[in-house]
Amino acid sequence: MTINLTWKVADEKDVNRYEVQRSRDGVTFETIGIVFAWEEAVHADYAFNDKNTNPGINYYRLKMTDNDGVFKYSNILNSGCPKPYGKHDQYSANGFNRSLI
């Protein structure tokens, strides 16, 4: 199963990258991908596909790192992977959209 994570930003300044992080327990996160920011974007849409989801609940967050190394985290989004796989679900939360394919 693939979980498609998307997010939108407005007036993006000095952002270097977005690290997509996943957790099984909502506490300990690992980086599963990096999406580099557009330079000085007024409005940008970003996406990352998690093709190696865990059965059950997956927790996601973004680590947003500026050019000077300062970072902050997005809110945490949780996503349950239904069994059997193949069902479709979609919702958005806290500016972080998720769809199951």
Residue 13's pLDDT is 83
- pTM here is 0.79
Query: Domains of the chain: which residue ranges?
Result: 3-94
Residue 63's pLDDT is 95
Query: What is d(CA 51, CA 73) in angstroms, rounded to the nearest whole number?
Result: 22
pLDDT band at 39 (very low <50, low <70, confident <90, very high): confident
Tokens of 47: 């996406």
CATH topology for the 3-94 domain: Immunoglobulin-like (2.60.40)
pLDDT digits (tens, 9 = 90+) for 60-98: 999 999 999 999 999 999 887 555 444 444 433 345 554
Q: Which of 7-16, 18-27, 45-54 has the lowest mean pLDDT?
A: 7-16
